[in-house]
Amino acid sequence: MKKALITGITGQDGSYLAELLLHEGYEVHGIIRRASTFNTQRIDHIYHDPHNNGNKVHLYLHYGDVAVGETLQHMIYNVKPDEIYHLAAQSHVRVSFDMPEYTGDVTGLGTTRILEAIRKSEIDARFYQASSSEMFGSAKPPQKEDTQFEPRSPYAAAKVYAYWITRNYREAYGIFASNGILFNHESPRRGETFVTRKITRAIASIKAGKQNHLYLGNLDSKRDWGYAPEYVEAMWLMLQQDKPDDFVIGTGETHSVREFLEEAFGYVGLNWEDYVRIDERYFRPTEVDLLLSDPSKAIKQLKWTPKVKFHELVRIMMDADLELQGLEYPGEGRKIVDERFGDWHRWDSQV
Ligand code: NDP
Ligand code: GDR
């Protein structure tokens, strides 16, 4: 049985990746942070208490923090994973302007701490770094593997550092270390403060009569939005290659926040302009105006192609948030998931 360690297992991507790896027959270990409230909602449905389910247990959780190297080294030495997926980060771009030093420490240096733990414990683990399209910043689209980085936030600058330290450990120490440069990917499990989920959640709440307005920032920026379950498949594929490498993952389509509003409100028969208000506090000191991927390398080498594009993504997220509010929903999004997935990934609005 192969062993995988996931940092950031309680996040959107970590939870989907854990499901995929369990389905693939892995023993999965995840690092969680101690908090005064439960923070494992996204993985509760796959966790079995070892006291009651001895032989069913393939998912193990360990307390840790990527801000502290010593514990990571002990954990990696003891678990001896075959594959390490490093997803933990302070991942919110706007927040990184409020907490630049912390973001540099966790999102940037966190990667060095994991790589050092691999090197010092002398285990033969393959390493995945969660790099980001934010690193391209103001670079001309479409962006691909050899596009120069022009980061526009403390978050993006930290991710650029992490990208290069990953390549450095690959070249200096021969570690199988790959960067997945993922463009925005969303799902019903997306954190509630990222713009797509903020919108779909607010629409469901408006429909339920609990909210009248939605306050947003810049509506003009454009993003290449894909569906998260498909993106974790790409992560896994990267670590199954013969050689470590860096890959761009995206849909090759770009849409503005305004288009997202039109599509999502329109899906439930509402006009977004009646509900959306602008609040300056959601603007960023420097913005990334336009992200658009060229994922042709991944399509060719990983044999990965996105099945869900913008139009379908909006429907999946809307159906899920309407269901979460206990409302009737049109069902086009659910149908897409039911028809195109079903192997390891199923409709899961309640998670
Ligand atoms: P989330 O914000 O949903 O999850 C982040 C995870 O990191 C959570 O499990 C969080 O734990 C954990 N974490 C944060 N700080 C620490 C820390 N100091 N020590 C240990 N764990 C920590 O992010 P996503 O799942 O969306 O993204 C996963 C990774 O991919 C991130 O690195 C992100 O920057 C990157 N990325 C994401 C993209 C996207 O569109 N989603 C695109 C490109 C890159 P807790 O639950 O306790 O907060
Ligand atoms: P992003 O995602 O910054 O691209 O980073 P986010 O959803 O936060 O913003 C996308 C765009 O929407 C604009 N926007 C708002 N954003 C938020 N969060 N809240 C608002 O109210 C709002 N109004 C307008 C933003 O200005 C921006 O232009 C995400 C994260 O997952 C990163 O971790 C990841 O690396 C990148 O995607 C790829």
Per-domain residue ranges for the chain? 3-185+226-249, 192-224+254-291+308-340
CA of 223 to the centre of ligand 1 (A): 19
Could you please state the CATH topology (level 3) that the domain comprising 192-224+254-291+308-340 is classified under: UDP-galactose 4-epimerase; domain 1 (3.90.25)
CA of 305 to the centre of ligand 2 (A): 24
**pLDDT of 215 strictly over 90:** yes
CA of 328 to the centre of ligand 1 (A): 31
Active site residue 155: yes
Helix, strand, coil distribution of the chain in percent, nearest 5: 45, 15, 40
Domain 3-185+226-249 has CATH 3.40.228.10: no
Alpha-helix runs per DSSP H in 32-79:
69-79
**Strand, helix or coil for residue 214:** strand
Whether 48 has a binding-site annotation, put simply, is no
**pLDDT of 164 strictly over 70:** yes
Answer yes or no: are the C-beta atoms of 291 and 184 closer than 8 Å: yes
**pLDDT of 318 strictly over 80:** yes
**Rg (the chain; Cα; Å):** 20
Per-residue pLDDT reduced to its tens digit, 74-98: 999 999 999 999 999 999 999 999 9
**pLDDT of 23 strictly over 90:** yes
pLDDT value for 179 = 99
Tokens found for residue 86? 């490093």
Ligand 2: residue whose CA is nearest its atom 23: 217
Tokens found for residue 127? 């390493």
To test ligand 2's pocket by mutation, which of 163, 194, 227 has the most ligand atoms within 8 angstroms of CB?
194
Mean pLDDT, to the nearest integer, of 205-220?
Answer: 98
Phi and psi angles of residue 186, each rounded to the nearest 5 degrees, phi first: -130, 175
Mean pLDDT of the chain: 96
pLDDT value for 348 = 83
Alpha-helix runs per DSSP H in the chain:
12-23, 69-79, 93-98, 100-103, 110-121, 154-173, 195-207, 228-238, 257-267, 296-297, 310-324, 332-340
Which atom of ligand 1 lies at the shortest distance from residue 13's CA? 25
pLDDT value for 193 = 98
Tell me the whole-structure pTM to 2 decimals.
0.98
Calculate the alpha carbon distances from 290 to 19, 153, 160, 221, 287 in Å: 32, 14, 18, 6, 9
pLDDT value for 141 = 98
Mean pLDDT, to the nearest integer, of 117-146?
Answer: 97
Place of tokens 């809307």: 318
Q: Dihedral angle at the C-alpha atoms of 338, 342, 345, 349, nearest 10 degrees?
A: 30
ipTM: 0.99
pLDDT value for 54 = 65
Single out the catalytic residue among 96, 132, 153, 205: 132
Mean pLDDT, to the nearest integer, of 303-315?
Answer: 98
Cα gap 190→2, rounded to integer Å: 28
